[in-house]
Amino acid sequence: MSTHIGAAPGEIAQTVLLPGDPLRAKWAAETFLDAPRCINEVRGMFDFTGKWRGHEVTIQGSGMGMPSLSIYVNELIRDYDARTLIRVGSCGAMQADIVVRDVILAVTASSVGNPSRAMLREIHYAPHADYGLLRAAHDAAMRRGTAVHVGGIYSSDTFYDERPDLHDQMVRHGILAVEMEAAELYTLAARHGRRALAVLTVSDHLVTGEDLPAMERERSFGDMVEIALEAAFA
Ligand SMILES: O=P(O)(O)O[C@H]1O[C@H](CO)[C@@H](O)[C@H]1O
Ligand SMILES: O=c1cc[nH]c(=O)[nH]1
């Protein structure tokens, strides 16, 4: 057990998929894993381990925002030795050529701040995906015929943003989409020598105003889960 994860040593796989939503973790495990078993219910942040094509996989909710993800990823790495960590999340599109349900592979994750910022001090570190995972995820998306975009995203500290000027600068600098966790995931993975990637599905569009309901955000994102699994074991 770690402070926030109730799983016993050995119950968490070296490959961990991380949706923000714990109910998406449950849905994904029950949909894609063989013999999934729930190994953590602390704070309702479900954690399931099962097999995908014979490989052990854990799917663990990370919560919303970087402070929450940071707690889970630190413990997954330090206490359970997770080696490959792939976020499977929803995001809001920021560019006109992207549509709802498209998949985004985040090469980099910009942010205004993240939990690692205090220790990095004056360094404007560039959090980035593992290239091998990124390439394998892109290959998987191509094989599946998924509409996929590859580029930089923005990890925000706020869902309800009061800074339209910030949004405008992100769009202007080619940022594809906004979500709330990848920058800290990439930074922690780099610090501990682990592989990380964020595979995101567009749930809403900040330019067109298109929006998916909560149930679809929980259950309709199968493509990104399978892309993440194929990338992890390529
Ligand atoms: O769907 P998840 O993975 O939670 O990701 C996105 O959705 C949440 C906001 O609704 C934030 O966590 C954001 O990053
Ligand atoms: O963080 C997020 C996630 C989905 N959609 C948004 O607009 N922001």
ipTM of this complex:
0.97
Residue 90 marked ligand-binding? yes
Q: Which atom belonging to ligand 2 lies closest to the Cα atom of 64? A: 1
3-state secondary structure of 28: helix
Residue 89 marked ligand-binding? yes
Which residues are near ligand 2 (CB < 6 Å)?
90-92, 156, 159, 178-180, 203-204, 206
Candidate list 79, 139, 157, 204, residue with the active-site label: 204
Contact criterion met (CB below 8 Å) for 106 and 182: yes
Residue 101 marked ligand-binding? no
Question: CA-CA distance, 156 to 162, in Å (whole number)?
Answer: 12
pLDDT for residue 117: 87
pLDDT for residue 113: 86
Q: Closest ligand to 225 CA?
A: 1
pLDDT for residue 217: 66
Domain ranges of the chain: 15-233
Question: CA-CA distance, 28 to 231, in Å (whole number)?
Answer: 16
Q: Closest ligand to 212 CA?
A: 2
Amino acid identity, residue 220? S
Q: Which fold has domain 15-233?
A: Rossmann fold (3.40.50)
Out of 64, 157, 159, give the residue to mutate to test ligand 1, the one with the largest number of ligand atoms within 8 Å of its CB.
64
The angle, 0 to 180 degrees and rounded to 10, between the axes of the packed helices 66-78 and 182-192 is 30
CA end-to-end distance (rounded Å), the chain: 30
Q: What is the mean pLDDT of each run of 10 residues along the chain (234 residues)?
A: 93 98 95 96 95 98 98 98 97 95 96 90 95 98 95 96 90 97 98 98 92 71 95 98
pLDDT for residue 212: 81
Those residues whose C-beta lies under 8 Å from the C-beta of residue 218, and which sit 6 or more positions away, are 21, 23, 24, 27
